[in-house]
Structure 1
Amino acid sequence: MSPESLLDDTQAEKQEVKGYFETTGFERWNRIYSDTDDVNKVQRNIRIGHQKTVDEVLSWIKQSGELRDVSFCDAGCGVGSLSLPLAEMGAGSIDASDISEAMAQEAQRRAEEAGLTMSKLHFFASDLESLRGSFHTVCCLDVFIHYPQPAAEEMVRHLCSLTEQRLIVSFAPYTPLLALLKGIGQLFPGPSKTTRAYTLKETGIVQAAERCGFELVRRSLNKAPFYFSRLIEFRKYRTC
């Protein structure tokens, strides 16, 4: 596939994802990332798995001691699953974005409802490609599932360009077993999504970060039925 065709496909898919999360997807995922019992078994397990990933990220950040007076970018924030607890923990500042304006608005509503200080917490709608700025820590959790391998690696490079010290990403890792499950519809069953879901080869993600002067410092695998997420923390050790 030519670079032009890849770009066209990526743009078309981005519009599909944006449309989904502005309509049917918003209602579905807003319920998944809430306390409501109005979810099916698959959605409940996705909620549990995603929360494991968020909790581990918060634990890593707390252990590092790099929180107060630290700037964060939550790229693909959804309804604020990471941003809100980060703010509650005392993060210096948080820029949180989502491709869906409905998601970003819901995250802000939840933050205001929780009484969080909005002067240090900024929610806005943006795709990953359009993000600009410089942040001590950039987090991008469970977003790359919407990106095929080449586009995901390019996005890692872009996020590295925004990162001063620490980049934390998670993605559904490619394995022969997960490829088989995905192929027969057991990993991402129809009612849970209407956009394509991609598993990614970890070596490509790591190499993309390494080329930008980042090194892998720790990794883990969080899973629940219907949820598999490789979590990696990178640290910058040189300028590109």
Structure 2
Amino acid sequence: MAFSSSLWSSLFLPNPNKTNRSPTFSPANRKLSTAFAIPPLSTATAADVSGAIDGTTIAVVSGGFVAGLTALLSLTDPEKRRREQAEEVGGGDKEVVKEYFNNSGFQRWKKIYGDTDDVNRVQRDIRLGHSKTVENALQMLKDEGSLKGVTVCDAGCGTGSLSIPLAKEGAIVCASDISAAMVAEAEKQAKEQLVSSENGVSSLMPKFVVSDLESLDGKYDTVVCLDVLIHYPQNKADGMIAHLTSLAEKRLILSFAPKTFYYDALKRVGELFPGPSKATRAYLHSEGDIERALRKVGWTIKKRGLTTTQFYFSRLIEAVPM
């Protein structure tokens, strides 16, 4: 959807290229190739995986298991299940995501985004990956100089993991999320963490707004949208990218779950195992499609990077007007 912004959206998938769990990030302006081999399921226990899976995660399976189940994909009807989910809340994707992140999803992701020890191995790995994406996005912003007085729209702020550090750097932040529960938590965290002055930099309280992405307006030096496009099919993602660029004067920082043959197949297999809390769709996007959508509105990619852990995989780009 345009929807949640709150989410941790990038797909939490096993990263076959890693032999450890440390996140990686590519240097600016350098594209990484994506050639994959599938790791064994034994890298995480069944309890770990089942405890972490929800609407934006994918089943963790071995290569042989993927191959053995591929033939079953044509017999499944994930669209039917998704329609049933939408009917339960009386709407489409947006309503499903809004309902989820205001209720059971809020409790799950508040825990993952937070610092509690009450998380399993997979959730802890996802937390690590998400934190690295936030760190890399913040570094992209700081690469151009001081953020003091810079206006930033954090579209899909979740619990404030980026909005609060931006405010500490002196940025003037408008933070939005479709989930009222997420916005309330972000505002609570901001009040606890922000002080009048830190390291000589005045911190202004972000303006927190409950809103879906389509309803955002105004003009900002920079718009940041991390891990939200996972709720948009490509045709809607094109329109959302156009809308976000219309709000940005200088740059757009965007992250998304990249679509490759391997991850697309794994996602489809994951839909064979919906699980009790799986409540939202998950859309992958090819980097080429994102780049074409940007070029259509006169923008181009200036920097690009990749954040990976064992169960988290996210492409991060910085786009600017051509």
Deviation at 1:122, TM superposition (A): 0.5
Relative to 1, partners in 2 of residues 1:28 and 1:125: Cα closer, same or farther, differing over 3 Å? same
Counterpart Cα distance in 2 of 1:47 and 1:191: 22
The structure 2 residue matched to 1:205, chosen from 272, 276, 290, is 290
Deviation at 1:115, TM superposition (A): 2.9
What's 2:140 paired with? 60
Deviations 1:96-154 (A, max 9, x none): 00000110010000000113457541011000000000000000001111111111111
TM-score, normalising length from structure 1? 0.89
Does 1:223 pair with 2:308? yes
TM-score normalised according to structure 2 size: 0.67
2:97 to 13, 17, 20: 17
User: How much is the aligned-residue C-alpha RMSD, in angstroms?
Assistant: 2.1
> How far apart are residue 190 of structure 1 and its match?
4.2
- Residue 241 of structure 2: which of 156, 170, 176 is its match? 156
Larger strand proportion of the pair: 1
Cα pair distance change 1:116/1:25, threshold 3 Å = farther
Q: Which amino acid aligns with 2:249?
A: E
C-alpha distance in 2, partners of 1:122/1:218? Answer: 28
Largest Rg, 1 or 2? 2
CA contact (8 A) 1:25 1:193 kept: no
Letter in 1 for 2:167: A
The alpha-carbon distance between structure 1 residues 231 and 190, as it changes in their structure 2 partners (threshold 3 A), is farther
More helix by proportion, 1 or 2? 1
Looking at structure 2, the residues matched to 192 and 52 of structure 1 have their Cα atoms a distance apart, in angstroms, of 26
Q: How has the CA–CA distance of structure 1 residues 233 and 192 changed in structure 2, closer, same or farther, with 3 Å as cutoff?
A: farther
- Please say which of residues 125-134 and 200-209 is displaced more in the overlay: 200-209
Corresponding residue to 2:114 among 34, 46, 59: 34
State, as a whole percentage, how many aligned pairs show the same letter. Answer: 52
Counterpart Cα distance in 1 of 2:94 and 2:154: 18
**CA 1:87 to 1:191, structure 2 compared with 1: closer, same or farther past 3 Å?**
farther
- The 5-angstrom pairing of residues 1-240 of structure 1 reads 12-91=92-171, 93-116=172-195, 119-185=204-270, 190=275, 193-237=278-322
* 3-state SS of 2:236 partner: helix
Distance 1:152 1:201, change over 3 A: same
Cα deviations by residue, 1:202-239 (Å, 9 ceiling, x for unpaired): 111111111212111010111112211110100123xx
Contact persistence 2:304–2:316 (CA under 8 A): yes
Structure-2 change in CA distance of 1:69 and 1:152 (3 Å): same
